[in-house]
Amino acid sequence: MRVSIFGLGYVGAVCTASLAHRGHQVMGVDVSPVKIDLINQGKSPIVEPGLEELLSEGRQAGRIEGMTEGYLAVQETELSMICVGTPSKANGDLDLQYVENVCRDIGVALKDKGDWHLVVVRSTVLPGTVRDLVIPVLEEVSGKRAGVDFGICVNPEFLRESTAIHDYDQPPMTVIGELDARSGDLLAKMYEDLDAPIVRKPIEVAEMIKYTCNVWHATKVSFANEIGNIAKSLGVDGRDVMDVVCQDSKLNISRYYMRPGFAFGGSCLPKDVRALSYRASQMDVRHPLLSSIMSSNDEQVAHAFNIVTGYGRRKIGMLGLSFKANTDDLRESPLVELAEMLIGKGYDLQIFDRNVDYARTYGANRDYINHKIPHLANLMESDLRGVIDHADVIVVGNNDELFETVIAEVPEGKRVVDLVGFMKTASNDVLEGICW
């Protein structure tokens, strides 16, 4: 494939060398004559193990050419990849001037190009950037239409400095955010020889994936550091602790706790977070990440309350009171907290939970229900259909399979708030998800 790459910094130089190594013809574009001279000499403009060898190989094979003007590069290639920097502004926002400048250069070339052309944004940009900046600039300058006269994709990179060549050749996945199938098909073809799954999503999803991955990595570093600091203060080697933690791939290193939704609860997580945070404070160990966990959890309950009450309707039906299905345990259930917030504001609330209803009469939690939350016990109903008929807003609170049918068949005139994830689509006029 014939590819033009705009921006020959860290990402652009690695992509240029790696694509050429895999047999593609690459035209590299940069405003810096110094970088272009180095590329055309087969030398690396950055320090990265193995990069210079691949650039030299590509130049000798005639598969790499560097230039400062992008017009010819667009005319002579099928695909243009934007790899320019997106540095931070003083307020933390992204500085997108380089992305905009490149889009204008590409737009000028597209105006005079007869063939369909694919523009790929490899630079890290926030969700909405392609829709609100890249496409409008390209269309304005070229006089052509995205999705008709040219294609658009987002293709976030997952390259770590010092191991970038290896990461390019063996990525965890290749993410393609596509404007349309034609755009995605062409970009997927370029990566078909890589041994990694190709994930094709809408543009905004791909933009968000990159930020989510990076923030998650940063969170893991901070988490491990805080655990290490607390462990050391207690005479424990934090490396030994985290080494064992990382051996658990069923829960600790898995997708189990990585699904957006409602707040966590139960008899373990809230209690243990508070206890470790308290002990760290006793030892005078700062732990800003861990100490923020409970307040973040409280914010998710408040977020659900705002969604439920935002409809301006007074009759609420809550399906589920225990923090998850198949248990009658109400200790630290965020649904109990949500219910208390609703009745505290005078809402007409009815609650259905078949496991809690059983426990209220027979179970081991009978005393807890009758003595700790009698104000909620009085709102419990045994008839699911009766609660649904009563409510103007139905809150699906836990993942009891009975409640999935409510999502599928919403009674006319009612609204459903899904805190679990039964919904297969994003929020609409009838169904609203807490995170989707």
DSSP 386: H
The full DSSP string for 104-134 is HHHHHHHHT--S-EEEEE-S---TTHIIIII
Given 83, 153, 246, 268, the catalytic residue: 268
- Secondary structure class of 89 (helix, strand, coil): coil
Return contacts of 362-370, CB within 8 angstroms, 24+ apart. Answer: 363/328, 364/328, 365/328, 365/329, 365/330, 368/330, 368/331, 369/330
Annotated binding site for NAD(+): 10-11, 30, 35, 86, 124, 271, 331
Residue type, 339: A
SS3 98: helix
Per-residue CA distances from 177 to 38, 127, 184, 188, 379 (Å): 32, 11, 7, 11, 47
Query: Residue holding tokens 């078949």?
Result: 354
Region of residue 248 (phi > 0: left; psi between -120 and 50: alpha; otherwise: beta): beta
Q: 154 with 206: CB under 8 angstroms?
A: yes
Q: Quote the longest CA-to-CA distance of the chain.
A: 82
Q: How far apart are CA 206 and CA 144, in angstroms?
A: 24
Helices (H), 22-88: 33-40, 51-60, 70-75
Q: How far apart are CA 223 and CA 246, in angstroms?
A: 13
Short-list 99, 97, 104, CA closest to 84 = 99
Q: Angle, nearest 10°, between helix axes 293-309 and 269-282?
A: 140
Output the CA–CA distances (angstroms, integers) from residue 109 to 28, 116, 179, 430, in the order listed: 15, 12, 20, 46
On whether the CB atoms of residues 30 and 7 are closer than 8 A, the answer is yes
Establish whether 268 is a catalytic residue.
Answer: yes
Q: Which amino acid is at 243?
A: D
Structure tokens at 103: 């889009």
Contacts of residues 198-202 at CB distance under 8 Å and 24 or more positions apart, as own/partner, are 198/173, 198/174, 199/173, 199/174, 199/175, 200/176, 201/175, 201/176, 201/177, 202/177, 202/178
Active site residues: 268
